[in-house]
Amino acid sequence: MIHLLSPQHFDDYELIDCGNFEKMERFGDLILIRPEPQAVWNKGLTETEWTKRHHIRFRGRSATSGEWVKKKSNTPDSWHISYKNKEVCIQFRLALTSFKHVGIFPEQAVNWDYITKQVKRFKNQQAKVLNLFAYTGGASLAARAAGADVTHVDSIKQVVTWANANQTLSKLDNIRWVIDDALKFVKREIKRGKKYNGIILDPPAYGHGPNGEKWKLEDSIQEMMHDVVKLLDEEHFLILNTYSLGFSSVIVENLIRSSFPNAENLETGELYLQATSGCKLPLGIFGKFYK
């Protein structure tokens, strides 16, 4: 079944408006404007309103980098926000990076809720969760806060350090931090005979491992899915999230079915953020299942 999902309860985040290849968002008390390639329609609010409301705006210098321009010089470069659902509360340190990112993908709160619910199903054992391409750790934090034994894998040392800081901020501990190429790590875990109850994959369209390994979603995702399902224990859940503009929920469904034909309770669909101004901003394709 195909679903459209957007976070419902995220008090510290708001998509205010988007359009003309930009989005205006509130993170805590700060309002940011940054590029958004999927916002091909016109803005819902006037440019005057955008200019009046924002605190910081990203100005691109190239296709991949740029700088943040502040209205006031005393506006902080980093700050904290939190996310709560009925079961967990997790904290994030946000920061202004030269790649337009701030350290969180708010639409992923939908998956954090799913992870929380799945981990809580394990009443008589501690769920073991593997988070691949784990970035600054939102999914890892949600799983750990729900009670899971968590292994967090990312190829970039700086973002793993950032995730560790978020763990401390969230008053959590004992997440296993691994700086490695995700595919290589999975293959080693298979050889070790390891099993996990939950696996989360949030791969980029393009990326590099710590030793220069190349990742291209279209070329590598089938091999990854074929391998990663070998790590699933009898009782399990899996989430696959993709950002590639060329992917659809049907492609994700086919990937899952071809790698794990017996997947039960499969859901696929699109993640989006609902703007206060009225429009919907699509931000990823997901597939998830559990047993």
- Residue 100 tokens read as 């337009």
* Mean pLDDT (whole number) for 243-270: 91
Per residue in 137-174, pLDDT (tens digit) is 999 999 999 999 999 999 999 999 999 999 999 999 99
With a pLDDT cut of 70, the percent of the chain lying above it is: 98
- The residue-averaged pLDDT of 89-100 equals 96
Contacts of 101 (CB under 8 A, 6+ apart): none
Q: Can 10-71 and 79-290 be said to share one CATH topology?
A: no
Residue 245 per-residue DSSP state: T
Q: Does 219 have pLDDT greater than 60?
A: yes
165 φ/ψ angles, rounded to the nearest 5 degrees: -65, -35
46: enclosing H helix or E strand: none
* Predicted model pTM: 0.95
Q: Any idea which fold 79-290 has?
A: Rossmann fold (3.40.50)
Domain regions of the chain by residue span: 10-71, 79-290
CATH of domain 10-71: 2.60.40.1180
Which pLDDT band holds residue 64 (cuts at 50, 70, 90)? confident
Q: Band of the pLDDT at 67, cuts 50, 70, 90?
A: very high
Token pair for 189: 């875990």
Q: Summarize the confidence of residues 8-32 as an average pLDDT.
A: 97
